[in-house]
Structure 1
């Protein structure tokens, strides 16, 4: 039987690693291939960790420059479907500046899978809900 706590724990570990800009921890909390989708963009599939890192490191630097991003918080995680090896999680998260003030919020569905006995994030479909968000789920929103 699936353990919902392990699913949510894997998402918290991903956000913690993302906030620390820790390549090894970010990649160890994802399963590959890893798919992303954001508002008005076609889905994108990253086959390897290095391919994902090449873009996400650019994204984080752009978020710092364009948004004043300091960190993100997971504000809502609700498992809406779960099997022994897959969970669909409704998420909402905020982007925050160095004072901890939320300046943008996004939401969507994150898909967490269990492979080799480990739960990790494998796919994300998200959209901006409010505020200023330039990049989302590894995709540039400012080009639209």
Structure 2
């Protein structure tokens, strides 16, 4: 029985190694920490466009940086934007709190594939005089859908 058990373990391990040899090293659909340079460039451009259109308070251009449905997890609540229905109300609410503009403090791509990238971010909000309102950590998931990159999901510690 001892030899039978050892044989079964050997057979199992051999099967794993043989099976693994048939798996492609192409990370086009699997996440990796070694993200293609063109993908990085495309994703960071979307992130720049996202922040620039947000700061210019251009809701129409801002929504072009999204994919819908779009998901946001913040303050313990999940919100879903089913379609491109962003309007200027978000800017009005922020302006009431003294907000004038935001900027990325960092955007670190932590994982990605040819059609999905996880971006660790931190951004700061500022008043018109340049004084700091707050600093917020977030995770953005940027996806490529129908040939276009866009922000699909945000998990943020901002309110």
TM-score by structure 2 length? 0.73
Question: What are the equivalent positions in structure 2 for 1:4-83 lying under 5 Å apart?
Answer: 4-41=40-77, 43-50=78-85, 53-54=86-87, 57-65=88-96, 67-83=97-113
Higher relative strand content: 1
Which of 94, 115, 119 is residue 85 of structure 1 equivalent to? Answer: 115
Moved over 3 A (4+): none
Figure out how many residues of one structure are paired with residues of the other and give that number.
123
Q: Does residue 1:106 correspond to 2:136, yes or no? A: yes
The 3-state SS of whatever aligns with 2:109 is: strand
Unaligned runs of 5+ in 1: 129-135, 137-144
Unaligned runs of 5+ in 2: 1-27, 29-35
The 3-state SS of whatever aligns with 1:59 is: helix
The 3-state SS of whatever aligns with 2:45 is: helix
How far does residue 62 in structure 1 lie from its aligned partner after superposition? 1.3
TM-score by structure 1 length? 0.80
| Greater C-alpha radius of gyration | 2
Q: Does residue 1:117 correspond to 2:137, yes or no? A: no
